[in-house]
Amino acid sequence: MDEKAIKVLITEDEARLARFMELELKHEGYDVVIAENGRIAIEKFYETSPDIMLLDLMLPELNGIEVCRRIRKESDIPIIMITAKGETMDKIAGLDSGADDYITKPFVIEELLARIRAALRRTNMEKTNGEEDILTLRNLTVDTSRHTVTFDDMEIELTKREFDLLAYLIRNKNIVITREQILNQVWGYDYFGETNIVDVYIRYLRTKIDDRFGVKFIHTIRGVGYFAKDEEQNS
């Protein structure tokens, strides 16, 4: 089976530079998506689920730091900031906002390619460390190193957050988990949003899995929380 090409989201408002990077990356076998400003970058991020992001710092609409900050709330994909010469302070702000690395314009393409490979290698290493890769719940299989979910052999497209939530439920299958536990584990201790975000994402998962395949994986215990049930039971 062919490996799926790695998808790179390039956010760059200088059209010529964006085009140059696109051609070079495609030549290397990457899939490329271009966003010409910060707002479009966020949209394309949700639409296309890229594996890695190249993010110019100075952008119209939303700047790179703001884009990075927003994406970091949802995803830990590698983000490489592209800065202009002399933007040293901004580099630091970029790293503070959650970027993994930065590269300074003008750069040679070999350096950019090397940074991309290094960033992808780091995330792969982080993923393979720690907990087991393959989680199962009846005919549902979650592969945490490849980031895929399948029902029998049918692939299910999930966002990063949906994926993390599902993986957490399955790691704790047949155990009732409270909304607070889910928030802490899936959204992180520093999450300040509404707790009903959990219910919203449970609903997304039910739409994409339970409803689609006519099964009931995710059960609600009213006033307590949720659990993923491993054995089919007649009711």
Q: Is the dihedral of CA 211, 142, 146, 193 positive or negative?
A: positive
Contact with Ca ion (CB under 5 A) among 6, 17, 58, 215: 58
Smaller CB distance to Ca ion: residue 91 or 216? Answer: 91
Instruction: Compute the least distance from the CB of residue 37 to Ca ion, in Å.
Output: 9
Instruction: Compute the least distance from the CB of residue 21 to Ca ion, in Å.
Output: 13
Q: Which stretch binds Ca ion (CB under 5 A): 9-17, 70-78, 134-142, 153-161?
A: 9-17
Smaller CB distance to Ca ion: residue 79 or 149? Answer: 79
Smaller CB distance to Ca ion: residue 56 or 162? Answer: 56
Smaller CB distance to Ca ion: residue 104 or 185? Answer: 104
Q: For residue 83, which of 72, 73, 68, 71 has the smallest C-alpha distance?
A: 68
Q: Which stretch binds Ca ion (CB under 5 A): 7-15, 133-141, 142-150, 201-209?
A: 7-15
**Is the bond preceding 106 in cis, omega lying within 30 degrees of 0?**
yes
Six token digits for residue 92: 């630091």
Q: For residue 26, which of 141, 109, 100 has the smallest C-alpha distance?
A: 109
Contact with Ca ion (CB under 5 A) among 6, 13, 95, 179: 13
Asked if 36 interacts with Ca ion (CB under 5 A), we say no
Six token digits for residue 23: 């051609």
- Residues facing residue 9 across a β-bridge: 33, 53
Cα distance between residue 186 and residue 180, in whole Å: 10
Q: Is the dihedral of CA 167, 169, 172, 173 positive or negative?
A: negative
Contact with Ca ion (CB under 5 A) among 36, 51, 56, 162: 56
Interface ranges with Ca ion (CB under 5 A): 13, 56, 58
